[in-house]
Structure 1
Amino acid sequence: MQLEIRPDPAEVGRARRWARSRLAGSGIDADEPLAETLILLVSELVTNAVVHTGCPAVLRLCLPGGGADAATVRLEVADSSARPPAPRHADGDETNGRGLELVDGLADRWGWNPEGAGKRIWCELDRCASGAAQDSPYGAFGGFAYEAV
């Protein structure tokens, strides 16, 4: 499923609402940590596309539906700007520059690929088998696969 995004900051809220509506019936409850993390990632990637490219974009969301990838949620934002994403570290009180740092910290995997004249930035979240994460001492991250570095 996909959503066309105009180069307008108001599109970020629309993208979040769209993603929330797609969670209904997907097997991911709206109050699951996975859902909240997914919505935050949608917000960050769509914001980056809208603010840094000035081009229309396409938001794609691949939710669990059975099969080998049933435990993985994939989010992609494709735009027509050839400029690669530029992760940076914001200092102190800066209000910008943390988007890709957040994506890196929250997603299990992320990256980008050239696509036509533009690019596709993607990230994936893994769901652990229910019960496994709840036995974990990291209960706040239940439902996620994670790696401490």
Structure 2
Amino acid sequence: MQLEIRPDPAEVGRARRWARSRLAGSGIQADEPLAETVILLVSELVTNAVVHTGRPAVLRLSLPHAVTEGATVRLEVADRSGRAPVPRCAEDDATGGRGLALVDGLADRWGWSVESTGKRIWCELDRCSKSSEVTAACGGGAVACGGGAAFEGLAYEAV
């Protein structure tokens, strides 16, 4: 399943609606923590593609055929920019700059790869008791910022 994304901020809302309908069609209810987390990740990755590339992108959502414990949901955003995603540390009053930290904190795995026409950023969520909780720890590690400071044990809540 995929959705073509135009380089327009309004596309973020359309991507969330599209992902919600695909999740519901797979038996993942909108109020489940897994669905809430997937929608937040869709928002972050699509926003990054729209804001930082100014080019069209493609959102892909791979859902398991049977929604069981241990099933994996994969989300990918492919864009036409070869620029690498760069995690940033936002100031306390900044309105942006936290997207990749959220992806790192919420996804069980994530990464990116160079494509012939740009890049692909992906993340995966496992449906299990650990990721079914509403909060998720920062990838079990720390997100390093600036002068070597690290933020350990941060939790993000999908609301």
Partner of 1:141: 133
Q: Which runs of 4+ in 1 moved over 4 A?
A: none
Partner of 2:25: 25
Partner of 2:120: 120
Partner of 2:73: 73
Partner of 2:99: 99
With over 3 angstroms needed to count, the CA separation of the structure-2 counterparts of 1:57 and 1:92, relative to structure 1, is: same
TM-score (norm 2): 0.80
Partner of 1:56: 56
Are residues 1:3 and 2:6 paired?
Answer: no
Residues 28-78 of structure 1, C-alpha deviation per residue, up to 9 Å, x if partnerless? Answer: 1111000000000000000000000000000000011149x9600000000
Asked if the contact 1:56–1:79 (Cα under 8 Å) also holds between the matched residues in 2, the reply is yes
3-state SS of paired residue (1:24): helix
Deviation at residue 83 of structure 1 after TM alignment:
0.5
TM-score (norm 1): 0.85
CA distance in 1, matches of 2:131, 2:77: 30
Asked if the contact 1:72–1:126 (Cα under 8 Å) also holds between the matched residues in 2, the reply is yes
Identity %: 75
Gaps of 5+ in 1: none
3-state SS of paired residue (1:75): strand
Which sits farther off after the overlay, 19-28 or 112-121? 19-28
With over 3 angstroms needed to count, the CA separation of the structure-2 counterparts of 1:66 and 1:80, relative to structure 1, is: same
Name the structure where strand makes up a greater proportion of residues.
Answer: 2
